[in-house]
Amino acid sequence: MIAKLEKVSKAYSIGDQTLIALQPTDLEVREGELMLIIGPSGSGKTTLLSLLGCVIYPSEGKLWVDGNFVNEMGQKQLSALRLNTIGFIFQNFNLLAPLNAQQNVLMPLQLMGHDKKSSLVKVEQALTLVGMLDRKNNLPKQLSGGQQQRIAIARALVTDPKLILCDEPTASLDKDALRIVMTELRSLAERGKAVAVVTHDPRLKEYAHRIIEVNNGVVTETLDFEQ
Amino acid sequence: MSVFLIGQQSGIFMFLTNSMAALVKNNQSYIWVVDDKTTNVNALGSIDIRIGTELQSLKGVAHVFPLVTAGVSAKFRNGTSAGLTLIGVQVPEFAGGPWDMFSGKKEVLFRDGAIITDYFNSNALGNLAPGEYFEINGKQVFNAGLTKGVDAFGGIYAFTTIERARYLANMNTDKASAFLVQLNNEQNEQDVIRTINNHYFGVHAWSGPELTKETIFTVLATSGIAFSFGTIIVFALIIGFVIIGLTLYSSVIDRIKDYGTLKAIGATNSYIRNLILTQAMIIACSGFVIGTIVTEIFRKGIATTGTIFSYPLWMRFAFLLITLVIAFFGSLFAIRRIIRLEPGAVFRS
């Protein structure tokens, strides 16, 4: 188990009002499975993903990621936890526009302080894994949506994270690119990573090992194909 | 722009402060004995010539050279006229000037009616050519030689012998404006200054550097020059601060998604702070280089009109330091914005 939520809830204050984005939730995220988080817009999917990604603190409850008790960790420790344990794949890829594909993938290793020579070897391996080595010198704007998402996957994988979090990773992709990206994510899960994917897209269900449905901040249903 | 404005204003200010005390600054090795009301070499009062004779008898004094300064009116062949500050010096010692000779030698002052003017003042002196005759207070003189870049504060210097200066300015022969005291080599300057100040009524002795400093202080204190230049420099600093601040802030806002992504994937606030500071320092260094080049072009351009100044090395370092400080403070808004950015925002964009 890479992450555990115990009665975790999240509330946001908007002016005088308090919006409960996630009701108290118990959840475990396990290695070796691709977990799909589905639900309508504003249901709390992204809040759940943000909690798993340690980019926000829970309002109530307890959250552990990779054995670390997140509630009590400082910003600096959380940055280190995200860097070393979690790989992020975003809906809009979020590649750094001035950097080419290779430099984008290199960035997390630079943040970790790895030496450039060994980092470049890892970058080449990650780009090879997603079939983008030949486009390593291209800037993001010179790549299609599918290609950019593969670069983003390479960036998420280059640090060999235990947990991969994807926010609508196929929203901007056509059918063929969707298949390539989801096959890659499924294969990562089968190689022992924990993969959590937030989506609206019902076509992704066929790639999931497990499906979590979120409605009005409540995790209402869990489909676990493995069981 | 800030570097240029600060450089330009500092340069002109330096030029003005240099010219404020140009007469004494170029004769620093003498003790200056002037009337005891004067703290400004541009406004010397009259002192009795006999004091010079008495000073000569002081222990350690090698020579005493009288000097007169007088405001006179000059009229030129093309019909124009101009005010001059006439400086009369004792020859052949030439204590008090002229200096920075450009054309001719100081000794031309031996010739009857000889006046030395400055190369850059030719236009202001009715396009006066070397050798050309003109009138001072209705008496004929001629332009015997030229200095280059010898500027009076708000006026025009012309040099001649002390006798001719008295004649042209209708001054009494028993009066001088100052005495320049030259000491024997082994004599302590402060001892002589102390003796003069303790024993002579109506005069005050200054070392060259002291009178220079006092003159500049007096002029600055009694005019709005320091305030005026200071205000422009402060505004230049504010402009630089605002420009760099806005540039960095808007560049951060433009790339807010990138910074959010960096924070989400694990970049610490200190990493991002260093990133923005590096950008600020690059902007500062580029600005400094461009500003310095533009200032240098300005300096060379204005030198052709006689406004000559140069920046000492410490001042160039000060400009660089000021630029870096402006950039540092300008970047604080951007850094504050990014540090307050939640990494979770990246999922909501």
Distances (CA, A) of B39 to A107, B11, B20, B211, B213: 66, 25, 12, 7, 9
Q: What global pTM score does this model have?
A: 0.69
- Residue A36 CA to residue A201 CA, distance in Å, equals 10
Question: pLDDT grade, residue A170 (50/70/90)?
Answer: confident
- The answer to whether the CB atoms of A96 and B265 lie below 8 A apart is no
Instruction: Report whether A110 contacts A83 (CB < 8 A).
Output: no
Strand order across the beta sheet in which A194-199 lies: A86-89, A163-167, A194-199, A34-38, A210-215, A218-224
Half-sphere exposure of B230 (CA within 13 A, CB side): 6
3-state secondary structure at position B282:
helix
Instruction: Give pLDDT, residue A224.
Output: 57
Q: What is the mean pLDDT of residues B58-67?
A: 90
Look up the CATH number of the domain holding residue A134: 3.40.50.300
Chain A residues within an 8 Å CB radius of B260: 94
The full DSSP string for B80-137 is: -EEEEEEEEE-TTTTTT---SEEES-GGGGGSTTEEEEEGGGTTTTTTPPTT-EEEET
Backbone phi, then psi, for B174, in 5-degree steps?
Answer: -95, 15
Q: Does A23 fall in a domain?
A: no
Question: pLDDT grade, residue A23 (50/70/90)?
Answer: very high
Q: What is the mean pLDDT of residues B284-297?
A: 87
- Residue B282 CA to residue B301 CA, distance in Å, equals 28
Q: How many residues does chain B have?
A: 349
Q: How many Å from the N-terminal Cα to the C-terminal Cα in chain B?
A: 37
- Residue A172 CA to residue A183 CA, distance in Å, equals 16
CA angle B84, B90, B96 (to 5 degrees): 60
- Residue A98 CA to residue B259 CA, distance in Å, equals 12
- Residue A218 CA to residue A186 CA, distance in Å, equals 26
- What is the tally of structural domains in chain A? 1
Exposure b/e, B311-340, CB count within 10 A at least 16 = b: beeeeeeebbebbbebbbebbbbbbebbee
- The answer to whether the CB atoms of A107 and B258 lie below 8 A apart is no
Asked if residue B267 has pLDDT above 60, the reply is: yes
Cβ-proximal residues to B171 (8 Å cutoff; 6+ apart), any chain: B68, B70, B165
- Residue A222 CA to residue B147 CA, distance in Å, equals 97
Helices (H), B116-224: 162-168, 189-199, 208-222
pLDDT in tens, B206-234: 998 998 998 888 888 888 877 888 888 88
Q: Does A12 fall in a domain?
A: no
- Residue B83 CA to residue B136 CA, distance in Å, equals 9
Q: Does A21 fall in a domain?
A: no
Q: Does A7 fall in a domain?
A: no
Q: What is the mean pLDDT of residues B280-289?
A: 87
Among chain B residues, CA nearest to A92: B349
- Residue B323 CA to residue B241 CA, distance in Å, equals 9
* Minimum mean pLDDT range among A37-41, A67-71, B159-163: A37-41
Residue from the list A76, A112, A167 with its beta carbon closest to the beta carbon of B347: A167
Instruction: Give pLDDT, residue A197.
Output: 93
Q: Does A62 fall in a domain?
A: no
Chain A residues within an 8 Å CB radius of B266: 79-80, 82-84, 108, 111-112
Q: What is the mean pLDDT of residues A206-215?
A: 90
Instruction: Give pLDDT, residue B330.
Output: 83
Instruction: Give pLDDT, residue B310.
Output: 76
Instruction: Give pLDDT, residue A221.
Output: 61
* Chain A residues 148-207 within an 8 A CB cutoff of chain B: 155, 167
Query: What DSSP element (H or E) covers A210?
Result: strand A210-215
Does A113 or B5 have the greater pLDDT score?
Answer: A113
- The ipTM, to two decimals, is 0.86
CA angle A180, A182, A183 (to 5 degrees): 65
Q: How close, in Å, is residue A43 to chain B by CA atoms? A: 13
Asked if residue A225 has pLDDT above 60, the reply is: no
3-state secondary structure at position B297:
helix
A33 part of contact set with chain B, CB < 8 Å = no
- In which domain, by residue range, is A99 found? 28-57+74-224
Instruction: Give pLDDT, residue B292.
Output: 86
Asked if residue A149 has pLDDT above 80, the reply is: yes
Question: pLDDT grade, residue B338 (50/70/90)?
Answer: confident
Q: Does A209 fall in a domain?
A: yes
Asked if residue A19 has pLDDT above 90, the reply is: no
3-state secondary structure at position B138:
coil
Distances (CA, A) of A2 to A58, A224, B147: 17, 17, 86
Strand partners, B143: B115
Instruction: Report whether A29 contacts A55 (CB < 8 A).
Output: no
Q: What average pLDDT is seen over chain B? A: 86
The proportion of chain B whose per-residue pLDDT surpasses 70, expressed as a percent, equals: 99
A14 part of contact set with chain B, CB < 8 Å = no
Instruction: Give pLDDT, residue B4.
Output: 76
Instruction: Give pLDDT, residue B349.
Output: 57
3-state secondary structure at position B206:
strand
Q: What is the mean pLDDT of residues A4-26?
A: 89
Q: Does A67 fall in a domain?
A: no
Q: How close, in Å, is residue B321 to chain A by CA atoms? A: 30
The identity of residue B183, as a single letter, is L
Q: Does A8 fall in a domain?
A: no
Q: Sort strands B101-103 and B157-161 into parallel, antiparallel or unpaired.
A: unpaired
pLDDT in tens, B112-150: 999 999 888 888 888 888 888 999 988 999 998 899 888
Residue from the list A79, A84, A94 with its beta carbon closest to the beta carbon of B267: A79
